C-alpha cells in the first residue's frame, strides 16, 4: 500500500513538482523507475484530463501524470519551451507555432466538446432559445437588455424583465474563445470583419472578464441576468441554464452529447488531425463544437518518457473515452480514435 499512497500524494500536490525525466526542465526527483508526465493547457477539457490522469496514475505504478489547467495559450507556450511533457489546446497549433517545436509536434485530438451559452436562469426562462443573429448581437453589444423584442420573438411564452444583460467572457488566452469567435465569424460577416477570431478578443459588449472556463461558470452563478460562453459539461454540472441555439439548418438545438456527435460526423478528419467545425451542417447538430488536442513531441529525450506518453495517450483514446459522456464531453468516433492510436504508437 505504501507505493499507492505515495502516488496519490504526488498527484494531488503535483503543482509543487517540476518536471523530472519528461522532456522538460529538471526538478525534484521521483522514485527510481517512475516517470512524471507534466502537462499544461486548456481549461475546456480539464475535468476529463484530471480524471484520465488520476486513473492512469493509479493503474500504472511506473507513471505519474499531473495536468495544470492554465489555458490553451499558456499550454502552447510551456510546450514550446519544453517546460512540460505535453501541452493541451482547443485551437491545436498553427503551422508557425509547430515550426518552433525543437523535436517536432504531433497534434492528438483526444475528445471534443461543446461551447454552451450558459446563463443565470433566475428571473429568466428555464428553456431559452436564441436565434443566430440574436446571440451574435448580444456579444457585439447591440442587444443589451433581456426584454429586447428579438429575444422575445423566439420565446413568446415568457415575459422577460427589463434587465441589463451581464455578458461574461474570458480574459486569458483561451481556446474556448477561439472556438466561440470562430463560430461567430462563420455566421456573421460583421463579426469576422470586426472583433474577428482569436484566443483573445477586444469585446465590443463591455463584458465582465475572468480567467478559465471555471471562472466564467462561477461568475455567471454569482450574477443575476448574466450570460457567457463556457464548456458544456462544466456549465451543466453547475446547474446553469443552457440556451438552445439556432443551427445552420434553422433548428433550435440544445448542447448534448448526441447533438455533439451529430456535428462531428458531418466533418471529415484530415491527415494532420487539425480540423475546425465553425458551423457544422445537420438538422440535429449543435452549432458550436470543437475538438481539443494534446500536443506531444514526436521524439523525446529518453525512452521511458516516450513509453509513458504512448501509454497515457493510448489509455485516453481507448478505455478513457468511456469517461467522456459522464463529464459532458463527446467521445471520438471509433474510426478517428483508431487512426489517432496508430499515430501515437509512432512516438519515439
Per-residue pLDDT in tens (0 to 9) along the chain, 348 residues: 333 322 222 333 333 333 333 444 444 457 788 999 999 999 999 999 999 999 999 998 899 999 999 999 999 999 999 999 999 999 999 999 999 999 999 999 999 999 999 999 999 999 999 999 999 999 999 999 999 999 999 999 999 999 999 999 999 999 999 999 999 999 999 999 999 999 999 999 999 999 999 999 999 999 999 999 999 999 999 999 999 999 999 999 999 999 999 999 988 999 999 999 999 999 999 999 999 999 999 999 999 999 999 999 999 999 999 999 999 999 999 999 999 999 999 999
User: What pLDDT, on a 0 to 100 scale, did the predictor assign at position 266?
Assistant: 85
Could you give the 3-state DSSP secondary structure of residue 221?
Answer: helix
The answer to whether residue 272 sits within a structural domain is no
Overall pTM surpassing 0.75 (yes/no): yes
The answer to whether residue 285 sits within a structural domain is no
* Boundary residue ending a domain (249, 265, 281): 265
User: What pLDDT, on a 0 to 100 scale, did the predictor assign at position 29?
Assistant: 59
The answer to whether residue 74 sits within a structural domain is yes
Could you give the 3-state DSSP secondary structure of residue 122?
Answer: coil
The answer to whether residue 218 sits within a structural domain is yes
Residues 197 and 325 both lie in one domain: no
Q: How far apart are the first and last CA of the chain?
A: 33
Write the CA distances from 18 to 21, 80, 200, 263, integer angstroms.
Answer: 10, 16, 28, 39
Residues 98 and 118 both lie in one domain: no
How far, in Å, CA of 231 to CA of 221, rounded?
14
* Residue 95, burial from CB neighbour count under 10 angstroms (0-12, 13-18, 19+): exposed
The answer to whether residue 274 sits within a structural domain is no
The answer to whether residue 307 sits within a structural domain is yes
Q: Where are the beta strands (DSSP E) in the chain?
A: 35-41, 63-69, 86-89, 106-119, 129-130, 166-170, 208-210, 226-231, 241-242, 244-246, 252-253, 289-296
Spell out a b/e string for 114-143, using b for 16 or more CB atoms within 10 Å of the CB, else e. Answer: bbbbbbbbeebbeebbbbbebbbbbbbeeb
Q: What CATH number is associated with residue 308? A: 3.40.190.10
Residues 197 and 181 both lie in one domain: yes
Strand-strand pairing, 244-246 and 252-253: antiparallel
Residues 9 and 98 both lie in one domain: yes
Domain that holds residue 182: 114-265
The answer to whether residue 125 sits within a structural domain is yes
Residues 230 and 325 both lie in one domain: no
The answer to whether residue 279 sits within a structural domain is no
Which of the 8 DSSP states describes residue 85? S
The neighbour count for residue 150, using CB atoms within 10 Å, is 14
How far, in Å, CA of 234 to CA of 238, rounded?
6
Residues 69 and 150 both lie in one domain: no
The set of cell numbers assigned to 245 is: 441555439
Residues 60 and 197 both lie in one domain: no
Amino acid at each position: 500500500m505504501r507505493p499507492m499512497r505515495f502516488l496519490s500524494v504526488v498527484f494531488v500536490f503535483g503543482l509543487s513538482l517540476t518536471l523530472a525525466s519528461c522532456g522538460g526542465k529538471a526538478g525534484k526527483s521521483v522514485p527510481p523507475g517512475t516517470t512524471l508526465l507534466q502537462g499544461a493547457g486548456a481549461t475546456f477539457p480539464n475535468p476529463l484530463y484530471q480524471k484520465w490522469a488520476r486513473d492512469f496514475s493509479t493503474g500504472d505504478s511506473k507513471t505519474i501524470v499531473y495536468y495544470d489547467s492554465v489555458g490553451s495559450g499558456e499550454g502552447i507556450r510551456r510546450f514550446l519551451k519544453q517546460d512540460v511533457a505535453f501541452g493541451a489546446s482547443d485551437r491545436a497549433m498553427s503551422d508557425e507555432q509547430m515550426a518552433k517545436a525543437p523535436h517536432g509536434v504531433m497534434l492528438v485530438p483526444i475528445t471534443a466538446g461543446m461551447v454552451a451559452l450558459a446563463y443565470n436562469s433566475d428571473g429568466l426562462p428555464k428553456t431559452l432559445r436564441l436565434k443566430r443573429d440574436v446571440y451574435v448581437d448580444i456579444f457585439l453589444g447591440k442587444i443589451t437588455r433581456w426584454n429586447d423584442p428579438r429575444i422575445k420573438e423566439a420565446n413568446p411564452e415568457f415575459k422577460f424583465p427589463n434587465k441589463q444583460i451581464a455578458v461574461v467572457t474570458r480574459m486569458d488566452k483561451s481556446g474556448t474563445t477561439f472556438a466561440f469567435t470562430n463560430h461567430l465569424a462563420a455566421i456573421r460577416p460583421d463579426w469576422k470583419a470586426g472583433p474577428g477570431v482569436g484566443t483573445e478578443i477586444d469585446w465590443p459588449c463591455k463584458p465582465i472578464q475572468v480567467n478559465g472556463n471555471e471562472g466564467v461558470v462561477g461568475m455567471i452563478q454569482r450574477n443575476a441576468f448574466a450570460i457567457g460562453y463556457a464548456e458544456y459539461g462544466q456549465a451543466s454540472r453547475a446547474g446553469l441554464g443552457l440556451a438552445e441555439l439556432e443551427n445552420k439548418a434553422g433548428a433550435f438545438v440544445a448542447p448534448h452529447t448526441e447533438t455533439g456527435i451529430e456535428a462531428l460526423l458531418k466533418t471529415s478528419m484530415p491527415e494532420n488531425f487539425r480540423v475546425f467545425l465553425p458551423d457544422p451542417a445537420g438538422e440535429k447538430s449543435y452549432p458550436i463544437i470543437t475538438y481539443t488536442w494534446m500536443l506531444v513531441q514526436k521524439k523525446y529525450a529518453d525512452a521511458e518518457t516516450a513509453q509513458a506518453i504512448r501509454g497515457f495517450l493510448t489509455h485516453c483514446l481507448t478505455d478513457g473515452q468511456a469517461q467522456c459522456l459522464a463529464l459532458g464531453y463527446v467521445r471520438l468516433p471509433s474510426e478517428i480514435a483508431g487512426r489517432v492510436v496508430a499515430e501515437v504508437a509512432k512516438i519515439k
